[in-house]
């Protein structure tokens, strides 16, 4: 068992340093041992069109281990000369290399179907734009059609111009309705395709007449030949359909507090090398919001949540909000309510008043969502429930949401999955933690930090929790491991999460 576990961790560590992209030279159109272990498969073997279909029966040539588009000759009529996968895919990560030339205009479409009313037989889907930004100009809506954009809908949010005749790496992630575009290791587009925003954008786009455009649960992948030069190779996919936790979790800065106190940039590099790009900062670690923002931007890391103390939240709300906005956060979080002795009803009443006031300022003046992070002591009995129920029922849902720390729900004897089912979308954020077997809980909100263990090895029913969280609509999941063994345990936790099936 030990040797097998070590092998898994070693393979995982080799993969995470690349954050989904190869750092070390890898032969094109091959899979590494790590990729094989993780379930990746090649869609192009470098030699044949096996598993692929040319819609026009031609239009592409294979040479030098790549699929090259045949350039349209002057006067030759336009027709759909794309190639598609024979298989359909639902949730997946797709990675491919591409090379553009002068005036390239192409794209890779996903969740592609050929059954749109009025357009039957025509393969249509959401598109990752492939374009020579410098030389190709659209007559209109060009700002929505740059390289790596969600074609005609969302522009890439970073400079995406790349040199001609060089290989680049793209990644498309589809996780249910959540979709991401990556270019050369940087996330450049992120959206939820079932959102009102996307539906509104579709109404103003070239897709306006296509009912339920882009909403197919599964579809083909399509590589476009618009008549200009483009080449593809190393096309590989990992299906995540059926995985309980297909994405990558975020990280709470407290996990690496000791390292952050010594060297912020190096610690950010460590976290990024794990493949983690979503952070909840509960401390600025001697930096300013501006300088920390620059450091995370340089590493393509985002701060989604900013944690502050209770007194700072209540007495300096505006400054907290400004710092959160500077960091790019959408949430402000507080994790402890000051109280003497047992947390009681008077404490809860004061908390409700304070949270409602601060949450209103954060929401109405700054567009931020306030979340309270439970810590165990709130579950003392009150009437037919607990004081935590009192907090839930008396805070204004418009201004106060919650971050569920699953260990600090379990420790006082509660069931995290049931609590998620009970309060649903009041929970926006989650701390992923597990409690060492044999440890007895209580209402103190305190236990040894060394009682944090690898997810799935402790007392909590993690699959049940994650299923309930998915149903509740939790938006961000952060690993919090307070133990001294975090460097070993965090990678093991990530392996565990990737292994879970629905």
Break the chain into its structural domains and give their ranges.
26-239, 250-499
pLDDT at residue 157, rounded to an integer: 87
pLDDT at residue 23, rounded to an integer: 39
CB 168 within 8 A of CB 184: yes
Residue 326: CB partners within 8 Å, gap ≥ 6?
289, 290, 293
Residue linked to tokens 């005609």: 152
pLDDT at residue 78, rounded to an integer: 61
The two structure tokens encoding residue 203: 């109404």
Residue linked to tokens 């404490």: 347
pLDDT at residue 21, rounded to an integer: 42
CATH class of the domain at 26-239: mainly beta
CB 402 within 8 A of CB 428: yes
Low-confidence residues of the chain, pLDDT below 70? 1-25, 75-80
How far, CA to CA in Å, does 225 sit from each of 56, 143, 234, 367?
Answer: 11, 21, 18, 43
pLDDT at residue 107, rounded to an integer: 98
Architecture field, domain 250-499: Alpha-Beta Barrel (3.20)
Q: Where are the alpha helices (DSSP H) in 328-415?
A: 345-366, 387-394, 407-410
pLDDT in tens, 320-354: 999 999 999 999 999 999 999 999 999 999 999 99
pLDDT at residue 76, rounded to an integer: 66
Secondary structure tally for the chain: helices H, strands E:
14, 25
Taking the C-alpha atoms of residue 275 and residue 6, their distance in angstroms, rounded to an integer, is 19
Closest CA to 236 of 14, 499, 51: 51
């Amino acid at each position: 068992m030990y040797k097998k576990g070590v092998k898994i961790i070693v393979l995982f560590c080799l993969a995470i340093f690349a954050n989904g992209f190869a750092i070390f030279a890898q032969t094109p159109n091959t899979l590494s041992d790590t990729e094989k272990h993780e379930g990746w498969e090649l869609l192009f073997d470098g030699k044949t069109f096996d598993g692929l279909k040319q819609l026009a029966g031609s239009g592409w040539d294979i040479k030098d281990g790549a699929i090259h588009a045949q350039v349209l000759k002057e006067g030759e009529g336009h027709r759909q000369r794309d190639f598609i996968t024979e298989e359909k895919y639902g949730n997946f990560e797709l990675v491919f290399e591409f090379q553009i030339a002068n005036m390239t205009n192409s794209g890779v479409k996903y969740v592609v179907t050929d059954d749109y009313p009025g357009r039957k037989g025509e393969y249509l889907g959401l598109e990752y734009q492939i374009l020579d930004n410098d030389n190709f100009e659209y007559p209109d809506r060009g700002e929505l059609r740059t390289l790596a954009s969600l074609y005609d809908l969302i522009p890439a949010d970073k400079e995406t111009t790349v040199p001609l005749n060089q290989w680049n790496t793209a990644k498309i992630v589809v996780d249910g309705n959540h979709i991401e575009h990556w270019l050369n290791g940087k996330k450049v587009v992120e959206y939820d395709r079932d959102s009102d925003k996307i539906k509104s954008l579709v109404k103003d786009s070239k897709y306006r007449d296509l009912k339920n455009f882009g909403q197919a649960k599964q579809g083909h992948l399509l590589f476009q030949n618009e008549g200009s030069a483009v080449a593809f190779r190393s096309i590989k996919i990992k299906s995540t359909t059926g995985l309980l936790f297909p994405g990558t979790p975020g990280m709470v800065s407290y996990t690496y507090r000791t390292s952050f106190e010594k060297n912020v940039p190096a610690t950010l590099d460590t976290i990024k090398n794990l493949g983690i790009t979503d952070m909840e900062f509960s401390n600025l670690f001697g930096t300013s919001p501006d300088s920390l923002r620059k450091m995370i931007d340089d590493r393509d890391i985002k701060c989604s949540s900013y944690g502050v103390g209770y007194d700072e939240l209540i007495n300096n709300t505006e400054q907290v909000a400004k710092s959160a906005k500077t960091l790019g956060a959408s949430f402000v979080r507080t994790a402890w309510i000051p109280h003497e002795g047992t947390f009681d009803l008077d404490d809860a009443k004061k908390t409700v008043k304070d949270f409602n006031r601060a949450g209103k300022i954060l929401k109405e003046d700054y567009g931020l969502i306030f979340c309270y992070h439970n810590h165990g002591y709130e579950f003392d009995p009150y009437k037919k429930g607990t004081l935590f129920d009192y907090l839930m029922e008396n805070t204004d849902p418009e201004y106060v949401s919650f971050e569920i720390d699953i260990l600090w729900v379990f420790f006082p004897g509660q069931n995290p999955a049931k609590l998620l089912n009970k309060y649903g979308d009041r929970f926006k954020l989650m701390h992923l933690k597990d409690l060492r077997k044999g440890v007895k809980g209580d209402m103190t909100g305190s236990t040894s930090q060394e009682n944090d263990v690898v997810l799935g090895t402790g007392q909590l029913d993690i699959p049940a929790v994650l299923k309930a969280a998915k149903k509740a609509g939790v938006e961000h999941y952060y690993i919090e491991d307070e133990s001294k063994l975090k460097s070993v345990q965090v990678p093991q936790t990530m392996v565990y999460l990737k292994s879970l099936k629905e």
